[in-house]
Structure 1
Amino acid sequence: MVHYLYSFVFRLILPFLLIRLWWIGRRSPELLAHWQDRLGLIPDTGKPVIWVHAVSVGETIAAAPLVKALLARRPHANILMTAMTATGRARAKALFGDAVTYAYSPYDSPGSVRRFLKRAHPQALVVMETELWPNMISRTAAAGVPIFLINARLSERSARGYQRVSGLVRSLLGKLNWIAAQADSDARRFVAIGAAEDQVSVTGSIKFDVDVTDALRADARALRSQLGRERRVWIAASTHEGEDQQILDAHSDILQKHPDALLILVPRHPERFDDVAALVRQQGLSMLRRSADKASDASQVYLGDTMGELMMLYGVADLAFVGGSLIERGGHNPLEPAAWAMPVATGPHVFNFADIYERLDRGGGVVKALDASTLAAAVNQCFDDPERAGTLGRNALAVVDANRGALERVVDGILQKLD
């Protein structure tokens, strides 16, 4: 009954979702491109695909090693990647080019999902993390397509939310063929909200299988040389509205002690690039933009306003602050800077990555800040004590290396079940 009510309400709000898409698209035209995908009107693939769904840029990055491994193990496989956001889709295209096919995932109305399935011809659906859309799951399962929830995580907050609609959630979980949980705590929560124990395996997080390539290292070295090799550099990555001002306040404090310091500031969403640039100017700080200006040592802020370059930009810095954590967004993935063997700084709100941050904390690879002043103090301490900063970075990398291997377990599990 709840599912039918959900579908009825979704049909009613669908026109308003399209109006909202048009409204937002006035500032972000890339959102309007391929808008038909949202209604399931994708080009017919003409052949069976492995459908990999990653809601946004974070999940897309996490899915990247999985997709690469699937292509390596099944060179003739056709992979269709979907995302809900323009940043997720753009990141996927930057990662894979013509090796895979892309589409926006359909809105979760019965008709949109039905049209999507008819054109996509999925032989399997791989869902990253915890994207349990009722019609996507139900109609895909009804078509006889196996569904794998990969890199699955479930915070205590999310579990409490799902328990409010326990009947619907239990039904959806019963349609999944496999849940590959990141940690024991995630697995226990999935079972608590209705998954069968034999559905759930603890594979670890494939995010630990991040790879810093030689090409990334070369690009990072070249940019660091242009920005000033001898100066102190920190990066604030994946920042949200409400954080940027705090970060700029922290940088102003840092400049009092280290006048040559550079902040690389990378907002999470491209539609905020211009707003953040205006905020930097209001702060009275000199700025260069990655997209428009030639890199030099003549600025206090370097705005990372391009897509698909965050991993490289991490390699330019001496310390990384990972955003979404000074406000209650739950944080973002800290393992990419950790893989560069650099100190990782975070705010207090990291519930989306609690297990990963706990491992980094136990391993001595993360520093915590509560606000702008404590963030500035943490950055200054690392700048003033390179030996301590080096130890923090090596500890962070050690945590990454100690937890690698989930990717192979996940790919083995998917291919075994498909075969």
Structure 2
Amino acid sequence: MNRPLYTLLLHLALPLIALRLALRARKAPAYARRINERFSLGLPTMQPGGIWVHAVSVGESIAAAPMIRALQSHYPELPITVTCMTPTGSERIQAMFGNSVQHCYLPYDLPWAAARFLERVQPCLAVVMETELWPNHIHQCAKRGIPVVLANARLSERSARGYARFAKLTAPMLAELSLIAVQTQAEAQRFLTLGARPECVEVTGSIKFDLKIDAELLQRAVELRRQWQAEQRPVWIAASTHAGEDEIVLAAHRQLLTTRPDALLILVPRHPERFNSVHDLCISEGLKTRRRSMGEAVQASDEVLLGDTMGELLFLYALADIAFVGGSLVANGGHNLLEPAALGKPVLSGPHLFNFLEIAAQLRDAGALSEVENAAQLADRIATLLNEPSEMQSMSQAGLSVLKANQGALERLLKDLQRLL
């Protein structure tokens, strides 16, 4: 498939795209808003000529945040436009940056929509986070001489096989990129095999290692646990959980309560449209559950705190003693293991970590990550750690050491961006 055929098929698929939006809007009403932006219609007023950063959703937005702040500091005269594809990503961008950046949804990958977007923004540099590759957006940038950087790039073996099936589309698209700043050497080789230009592929590492924790956030967590009178209470968090995973986590918590009846689980579903259904699940399991969004103090009788707020995940990690990172007991590929590690928490996950193989391997080899396969193993591992403070401390220090050893990717990336600017 070449780009003209891809574009034709994309136009033919527009009714299906509209149907998918409508179905998503039934679960998450925010998908029904600002639809015009997805077609480059009614875009907000933009100051042209700056840097455009695309972060598809919440995870990429969080990963991009240190880079965006550094760009704001280094180039205060340049407007920065940040786009995403999801309402949760949009909320996160607005919460992190407010009016200090320009923001809208990225239009669909239609040539006329991409052209209209670029005419409005007129960036001097485009930075796309991780693996969000859109042939028409990239081609429209190339036509205008706008350098495009794929930053913090990652490409799993599975994704590489998918792209390889469409070589006539993939190879020309990758050849139009000015820089592919990849996380690992293995991923660099995958991009080269798919057709990227060798002089444009550079291993910079993952900027997720350059996460800096605000001391004030840690202090707020200590204060809140004091207010809850839960300084000595065992607290664990299951974060970014997916459908089918919450049941496993709750079963593990019920098992843990048989030996540690004062244990508190902070359960944070990945997607906000699931907050209500997960709350109903907790109640149906007979667990006394309090919702974080209500702003009420946790009581000694509470067994679950549902993290049903946006933009608080780091703070909720800070409240816990042990962190389980979701998307890993189901075949979703896992989520960011480095956030809890940066907070000095022992990190647990399921076996499905194909989105973070390199990071998981480093944490595992250092002794900072434990993997479990089911509810019984999860409960047993948490109970063991709670009974062995020295092992918890060892895992904590190992995680912090891995982060420290890998930092510097952001600085390397910023030097490359400066060269292109």
User: Given the two structures, how large is their TM-score scaled by the length of structure 2?
Assistant: 0.97
Shift of 1:72: 1.0
Separation of aligned partners in 2, 1:78 and 1:267: 34
The aligned counterpart of 1:391 is 394
Aligned partners of 2:125 and 2:420 also within 8 Å: no
Separation of aligned partners in 1, 2:225 and 2:144: 51
Matched, 1:104 2:105: yes
Shift of 1:177: 0.1
Separation of aligned partners in 1, 2:352 and 2:322: 19
Aligned partners of 2:47 and 2:79 also within 8 Å: no
Matched, 1:335 2:347: no
The aligned counterpart of 1:373 is 376
Aligned partners of 1:55 and 1:83 also within 8 Å: yes
Matches within 5 A, 1:3-402: 3-41=3-41, 42-227=43-228, 228-297=230-299, 298-402=301-405
Separation of aligned partners in 2, 1:178 and 1:281: 50
SS at the partner of 1:127?
A: strand
SS at the partner of 2:340?
A: helix
Separation of aligned partners in 2, 1:7 and 1:92: 29
Which range is displaced more, 8-17 or 385-394?
A: 8-17
Separation of aligned partners in 2, 1:295 and 1:141: 54
SS at the partner of 1:285?
A: coil
Aligned partners of 2:153 and 2:180 also within 8 Å: yes
Aligned partners of 1:250 and 1:376 also within 8 Å: yes
Aligned partners of 2:323 and 2:340 also within 8 Å: yes
Separation of aligned partners in 2, 1:214 and 1:376: 30
Shift of 1:8: 0.8
SS at the partner of 1:46?
A: coil
SS at the partner of 2:356?
A: helix
SS at the partner of 1:352?
A: coil
Which range is displaced more, 85-94 or 23-32?
A: 23-32
Aligned partners of 2:188 and 2:202 also within 8 Å: yes
Task: Report the aligned-residue RMSD.
Answer: 1.2
**Aligned residue pairs, count:** 418
Q: What is the identity, as a one-letter code, of the residue corresponding to 1:229?
A: E
User: Given the two structures, how large is their TM-score scaled by the length of structure 1?
Assistant: 0.97
Separation of aligned partners in 1, 2:260 and 2:23: 43
Q: Mark the runs of 5 or more structure 2 residues left unpaired by the alignment.
A: none
SS at the partner of 1:115?
A: helix
CA distances 1:174-201 after superposition (whole Å, capped 9, x unpaired): 0000010101111111111111221111
Q: What is the identity, as a one-letter code, of the residue corresponding to 1:71?
A: Q
Aligned partners of 1:45 and 1:121 also within 8 Å: no
CA distances 1:65-92 after superposition (whole Å, capped 9, x unpaired): 0001111111222111111111111111
Shift of 1:293: 4.2
Q: Mark the runs of 5 or more structure 1 residues left unpaired by the alignment.
A: none
Aligned partners of 1:44 and 1:120 also within 8 Å: no
Which range is displaced more, 226-235 or 333-342?
A: 226-235
Separation of aligned partners in 2, 1:374 and 1:311: 25
Runs of 4 or more above 6 Å deviation: none
Q: Give the fraction of aligned pairs with identical amino acids, expressed as a percent.
A: 47
Shift of 1:296: 1.8
Shift of 1:44: 3.6
Aligned partners of 1:30 and 1:86 also within 8 Å: yes
CA distances 1:204-251 after superposition (whole Å, capped 9, x unpaired): 100000011022112222222234121000101111111010000011
